[in-house]
Amino acid sequence: MSTNYSSKELQNSIEQVMKKKQYENFNEWITNFALNLSSIWNDESAKKLNPKFNNDSVEKNNSAIVIGRGPSINKHEHLKLLAESNYEGSIICCDGKLIDALNAGITPDKFPKFYVISIEPYSKIKKYYEGDVVKKFGSKIKGIFTVLTNPEVIKEARKAGIQIHWVHSLFDYNEGEKSFNNLSALMIRAKNSEHKLPAIQTGGNVGTAAWFTAWQILKCSTVTLIGINHGWEEDDSWEKIIHHDNKAEISEVIDRNSETFHKLYKKIHNPDFNCNCILDPIFQFYSEGLKEFIARSPKNITTINATEGGSIFGERIKSMKFKSFLEKYDLK
């Protein structure tokens, strides 16, 4: 049975789905944090990655490339272009693209400022750290993990030799003193009042978290995005789209030929790259969040979208082909 929604009802439904998504794993988050606490006490804080702790100047550390796993990264062979370049800035690789990046020749041997980041609470993320190529280069990779990361993921990363650095991921900052953000911070400092972790927004996804990490923790003034589509390709199947992250609660009761359905799964045109993409409710949330964060970021931060596709364009975003970035912004 199909249902027609008013615009207000549709927006309320989307918000309910996203709120449910945000909090449905709350018990898992708490469990992960509790199991991670002793490691958090003994491992490094991600604040130690700040250039001032490494006798490095901010000026020398002024550029970062964020590697996501959106479809454009393979379509335009961005990993190959990066591997063959002389880029000397930081590389922040989203966990899901780590093995591909290393296999493509983007290794800490060639790119010493190599980081990987994980934010999800799921044990399945550990597969991103299980490859032989990860074990080969793991000891030279700096890992950034939220306090909510599944302990099995931390175990696998540690087994590969990856250096563990912890961050807070903000998610219930509207709850004040009773928020988990505040309570967990107090517990982390219980053994050592000086052991503080940097706190970053994640926007609900690792790509946005990597962007925040680049300028808030690594103090980079130029952050370039590749593989951060935050949207579906125009020719992706509807079955794939509506079951994104197993979230099909709304679409299952809406006629796919209706106006409501096409508002829910809206097609947008990216004028910077002259392409279209489709945003489901989750990607709408991710996309709008990242674009708002970029628009509100400090004026000295430049964000370049070199994804060559997807939904990230607008205020304070410079778009260009990745090849052009590597040629024009030869930042050391």
Helical ranges in the chain per DSSP H: 7-23, 26-42, 72-75, 78-83, 98-103, 132-137, 151-159, 180-188, 206-212, 238-242, 259-264, 281-295, 322-328
Characterise 102 by phi-psi region: left (phi > 0), alpha (psi -120 to 50), beta (else).
Answer: alpha
| Torsional sign, CA 215, 218, 224, 225 | negative
Give the pLDDT of residue 1.
44
Within 10 A of 246 (CB to CB), how many other CB atoms are there?
Answer: 7
Start-to-end C-alpha separation, the chain: 59
Report if residue 37 sits inside a domain.
Answer: yes
Q: For the beta carbon of residue 165, count every other beta carbon within 10 angstroms.
A: 22
Residue 14 in domain: yes
Long-range contacts from 104-111, C-beta under 8 angstroms, 24+ separation: 104/79, 104/80, 105/79, 106/67, 106/79, 106/82, 107/137, 107/140, 108/137, 108/140, 108/141, 109/137, 109/140, 110/83, 111/87
Residue 2 lies in a domain: no
Residue 1 covered by a domain: no
Domain that holds residue 110: 7-328
* Residue 290 contacts residue 203 (beta carbons within 8 Å): yes
The DSSP 8-state label assigned to residue 48 in this structure reads: G
pLDDT (0 to 100) of residue 27: 86
The token pair at 217 is 């923790």
In a domain, 154, yes or no: yes
Structurally, the chain folds into a number of domains equal to 1
268 within some domain = yes
Q: What does the alpha-carbon distance between residue 315 and residue 302 come to, in Å, rounded to a whole number?
A: 11
* Distance from C-alpha of 225 to C-alpha of 323, rounded to nearest angstrom: 13
Model pTM score? 0.91
Query: Quick one: pLDDT at residue 24?
Result: 72
**HSE toward the beta carbon, residue 194, CA cutoff 13 A:** 2
Residues 6+ apart with CB under 8 A from 154: 36, 39, 145, 164
**Residue 15: phi, psi to the nearest 5?**
-65, -40
Please check whether residue 231 lies inside any domain of the structure: yes
- Tell me if 129 sits within 8 A of 162, measured CB to CB: yes
**Per-residue pLDDT reduced to its tens digit, 216-272:** 999 999 999 999 999 999 988 877 887 777 555 555 556 667 777 777 889 999 999
| Residue 330 · residue 224 · CB < 8 Å | no
Instruction: Give the closest residue to 270 by CA, choosing from 261, 259, 262, 278.
Output: 278
- Could you say which residues of the chain have pLDDT below 70? 1-23, 55-61, 172-176, 246-256, 330-332
In the block, which residue shows the tokens 């969040």?
A: 289
Please, what's the largest Cα pairwise distance for the chain? 64
pLDDT at 244: 75
